[in-house]
Amino acid sequence: MNTLTVDLGDRSYPIFIGSGLLSDSSLYTPYIKGKQALIVTNTTVAPLYLEQVKSALTDFQVDVVVLPDGEQYKNLETLNQIFDTLLEKQHNRTTTLIALGGGVVGDMTGFAAASYQRGVNFIQVPTTLLSQVDSSVGGKTGVNHPLGKNMIGAFHQPQCVIADTRTLTTLPERELSAGVAEVIKYGLICDSSFYGWLQENTSLLMQCDSKALAYAIERSCQDKADVVAQDETESGIRAILNLGHTFGHAIEAHQGYGNWLHGEAVGAGMLMAADLGCRMGDISTQEVSELRQLLIEAKLPVVGPVDMSIIDYTSRMQVDKKVLDGRIRLVLLKTIGEAYITSDVPSDLLNQTLSAGEMLGQL
């Protein structure tokens, strides 16, 4: 097992990464301050992993809520099921919520923990690649609104993250690809040598090679932890973690949550960001086409939905948490490994990038 730390002063916490960690009670017990715990999971993950987690928690009053599975349920209505169970089972302010599942379960559980009785503790037990490399780390929690992705939420850091790489053996390939998109993101925004490693090793990740996955998870978590430690609540540099997300969130919302996976939308969105950066004179055409190749190797989409118009994109992109004074702000790449955020994007260049025909024809 490897342990990394998210360094946030008195709210610092460990990320445990290794194989077979789910049922290790010594990883949970120090982070549960009271006698109660509520495991939040979903209908897909519960039959696979719930018993293992329960077996680690025999010293506690353990209750369980099993949510429906899917991004389309990441909303306030589903969130209420968590509050209902907490109240029915009389959980008090010392309870600890345990998020067992992918990013949807993690984001909702974290938000429930942020708001139940004005804030209780929670532990992240991510079971998808995407959640192990991204969503379980950094304390962003929340739910979607029909008009915008992750629009209702809070920053609330977990007590610890337990990333059991063995859970990835049951992950469908499409979900693995979605996770690889966020892994590629770290190389693009801040870690060019890792990007070089990914150009050599993405096929191993796609074969679910356990060594390669463990390395990619550790490196991604370290990159994310470094950024979060500098800017916990995204007043500056943390925004670079959203490379491709402004385009991606527009795709997800337009297509209806759950139709395009978050990681798929981010994959296509990162290529759009690279294409736009290239049009603005930053990243080279060679680098853009290498990124396109890498995304193809990871079995990710390299164009947005064919039926999405420029207006569909720009109207959705206006409902983005980075928008300031009505101006869209985007994360772009100076070069591989160096991202920056800007609101100075010429609309004609943005429109060119947003045209699927242009994407297909020129990359």
Q: Which residues bind ligand GLY (CB under 6 A)?
A: 134, 138, 140, 238, 241-242
Residue 304 is which amino acid?
Answer: G
71 tagged catalytic: no
Q: What DSSP letter does each residue of 112-125 carry, written as one string? A: HHHHGGG--EEEEE
Q: What is the phi/psi pair of residue 167, to 5°?
A: -65, -20
| Catalytic residue check, 242 | yes
- For the chain, report the end-to-end CA distance as a whole number of angstroms: 41
DSSP code, position 79: H
The yes-or-no answer on residue 254 being catalytic is no
Q: Considering CB distances under 5 to 8 angstroms, the limit depending on partner class, which of ligand GLY, ligand NAD, none binds residue 242?
A: ligand GLY
CA separation for the pair 40, 99 (Å, rounded): 5
- 156 included as an active-site residue: no
Q: Which of residues 15-34 bind ligand NAD (CB under 6 A)?
A: none
Distance CA 332, CA 77 (A): 35
Q: Does residue 248 interact with ligand NAD by CB under 6 A?
A: no
Residue 127 lies near ligand NAD (rule: CB under 6 A)? yes
Q: Give, as ranges, the residues between 149 and 168 that touch ligand NAD (CB under 6 A).
A: 150, 167
- Active site (annotated) includes residue 224: yes
Residue in 54, 74, 219, 238 annotated catalytic: 238
Residue with Cβ nearer ligand GLY (54 or 245): 245
Q: Which residues contact 115 (CB under 8 A, 6 or more apart)?
A: 154
> Which residue is catalytic, options 249, 254, 321, 329?
249
How far apart are alpha carbons 87 and 186 in whole angstroms?
40
Q: Is 11 a catalytic residue?
A: no
Give the residue with the Cβ less far from ligand GLY, 221 or 288: 221
Number of residues that make up the chain = 363
Catalytic residue, candidates 234, 252, 264, 287: 234
> How many Å apart are CA 134 and CA 172, to the nearest integer?
18
> Does residue 131 touch ligand NAD according to CB under 6 A?
yes
Calpha distance 178→130 (Å, rounded): 7
Which amino acid type is present at position 168?
A: L
Q: Does 132 bind ligand NAD (CB under 6 A)?
A: no
Nearest residue relative to ligand NAD (C-beta)? 103
232 binds, among ligand NAD, ligand GLY, none (CB under 5 to 8 A by kind): none
**Whether 10 contacts 43, CB under 8 Å:** no
User: Of residues 173-232, which lie at the interface with ligand NAD (CB under 6 A)?
Assistant: 175, 178
Report the distance separating Cα 119 and Cα 117, nearest Å. 6
Residues at the site binding ligand NAD, with contacts judged by CB under 6 A: 42, 44-45, 48, 69, 71, 74, 101-105, 107, 127-128, 130-131, 134-135, 138, 140, 150, 167, 170-171, 175, 178, 262-263
Residues noted as catalytic: 118, 140, 182, 224, 234, 238, 242, 245, 249, 262
